[in-house]
Chain A
């Protein structure tokens, strides 16, 4: 059974710092991996989607990488801003049905 783990559970950094969020999964036979952002009390916003055949995806200050063989993905945030404060969730898709297995999330606080 696929399990997804995100470390650390919480992170606090000063504004301007570059940071890395980690996601690991137990079964390397994945279809894709998606990173989401969730603001308190709100729904999820999709940030980046990486297909199993891809190594990384970039959007603005965000870069997500995928290493299937080691069961790991990282989300790199460059030049962090207070507006980046949120919970970041990674989710693994194991088939083309779209079913996702979520990690518990990393709650990020960027201090001005």
Chain B
């Protein structure tokens, strides 16, 4: 079975903190994705990566950066967390044509 894991299920951070969200997949997938999910707005793509050290902006990259130093790990970085980044963050990886999602990280910024 494909497994995508995220470092935390719940996270509470203060405004201005630097936040790291980690995602790991165990199936040697090349493509990995970060989404955020908000009520009324659905899932929106933040960044994706199609290879190590390669990244592309999604629909809402502002306020975020990413890092992919190893194939299995894709990190989402909030350089200076703000309250409008309170959300559910979902990581996914792609095998063939199908995307597989992690369990999500519920981030609250106070």
Contact = CB atoms under 8 A, between A and B. Distances in A.
A102 B43 contact: yes
Nearest to B95: A98
Interface in A15-50: 31-32, 34, 36, 41-46, 49
A42 B31 CA distance: 22
A99 B47 CA distance: 10
B45 A100 contact: yes
Given A97-B31, A97-B50, A105-B42, A46 B103 contact: no
Given A41-B106, A104-B42, A97 B97 contact: no
Q: Is the interface of A mostly helix, strand, loop or mixed?
A: strand
Measured as residues with beta carbon below 8 angstroms from the partner, the interface class of chain B is: 20 to 34
Interface string B35-59: 0000010111100101000001010
Contacts of A71: none
A104 B40 CA distance: 7
Contacts of A36: 101
Bin the interface of chain A by size: 20 to 34
Given A43-B90, A102-B42, A34 B99 contact: yes
Contacts of A45: 101
Interface in B1-41: 4, 31, 33, 40
A18 to B, nearest CB: 26
A45 B44 CA distance: 17
B99 A98 contact: yes
Nearest to A42: B103
B23 to A, nearest CB: 11
B61 interface: no
Contact of A46 (B42, B48, B100): B100
A99 B58 contact: yes
B101 A97 contact: no
Counting from the closest, the 10 A-B pairs by CB-CB distance are A98-B94, A44-B101, A102-B43, A43-B101, A43-B103, A98-B31, A43-B104, A104-B42, A49-B98, A102-B42
